[in-house]
């Protein structure tokens, strides 16, 4: 079996303007590293927190909730504030985009928001498909046999439903009555699911 190294948050010190980079559901800060390096090369300080439960096994991930993940985002924002950054923008992809919208709603001093591929009106089955796809890839990477993978995924299917309803509700509540009075850029790719 392969020993997996747990991904970590990253901090790239740059100029006086900072960017909080927020990763997607089932992913980790690695999917924001290239963007962070690019922005850092342009003089921005970048911080990408890892959400609680992410970067771990699917079984560990589903033991956490959007409330836990949001706390990781808040801690990331306060990390930059405590470092003395007064100009902070937020960039998020997918679930990270949902959290970026929440940062914009809750913190008045955010300077700008960029969201990419934000999920909207997703059904629980769609979210379940995402976590099961992640689980299969994770277990294959661990080097498990197909029969063992199937057993573990069936067990995971039963366990994940309640948590995914909570995630769907969190996304829906964020999008309901959304009003943000900050500069915002909304991006979707051609291959993203239609809204």
Residue 195 pLDDT greater than 50, yes or no: no
The pLDDT value recorded for residue 50 is 97
Mean pLDDT (whole number) for 7-34: 96
Mean pLDDT (whole number) for 133-159: 90
Taking the whole predicted model, whether its pTM rises above 0.85 is answered as: yes
Q: At what angle do helices 66-82 and 95-106 cross, to 10 degrees?
A: 60
pLDDT band at 3; cut points 50, 70, 90: low
List domains and CATH numbers for the chain: 10-187 (3.40.50.1820)
Tokens of 161: 């439903």
How big, in percent rounded to 5, are the helix, strand and coil portions of the chain? 50, 15, 35
The pLDDT value recorded for residue 160 is 67
Distances (CA, A) of 37 to 14, 18, 80: 10, 13, 17
Report the distance separating Cα 85 and Cα 101, nearest Å: 20
For residue 182, the Cα-to-chain-centroid distance in whole angstroms is 21
Report the distance separating Cα 108 and Cα 97, nearest Å: 17
């Amino acid at each position: 079996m392969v020993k997996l190294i747990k991904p970590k948050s990253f901090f790239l010190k740059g100029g006086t303007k900072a960017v909080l980079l927020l990763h997607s559901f089932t992913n980790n800060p690695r999917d924001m590293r290239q963007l962070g390096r690019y922005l850092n090369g342009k003089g921005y300080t970048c911080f990408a927190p890892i959400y609680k439960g992410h970067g771990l096994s699917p079984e560990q991930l589903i033991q956490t909730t959007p409330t836990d993940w949001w706390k990781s985002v808040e801690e990331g924002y306060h990390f930059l504030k405590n470092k003395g950054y007064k100009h902070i923008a937020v960039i998020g992809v997918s679930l990270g985009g949902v959290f970026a919208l929440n940062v914009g709603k809750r913190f008045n001093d955010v300077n700008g928001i960029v969201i990419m591929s934000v999920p909207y009106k997703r059904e629980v089955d769609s979210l379940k498909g995402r976590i099961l796809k992640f689980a299969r890839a994770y277990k294959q990477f661990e080097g498990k046999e197909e029969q063992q993978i199937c057993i573990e995924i069936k067990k995971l299917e039963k366990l994940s439903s309640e948590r995914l309803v909570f995630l769907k509700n969190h996304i829906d509540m964020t999008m309901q009555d959304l009003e943000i009075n900050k500069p915002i850029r909304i991006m979707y790719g051609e291959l993203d699911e239609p809204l």
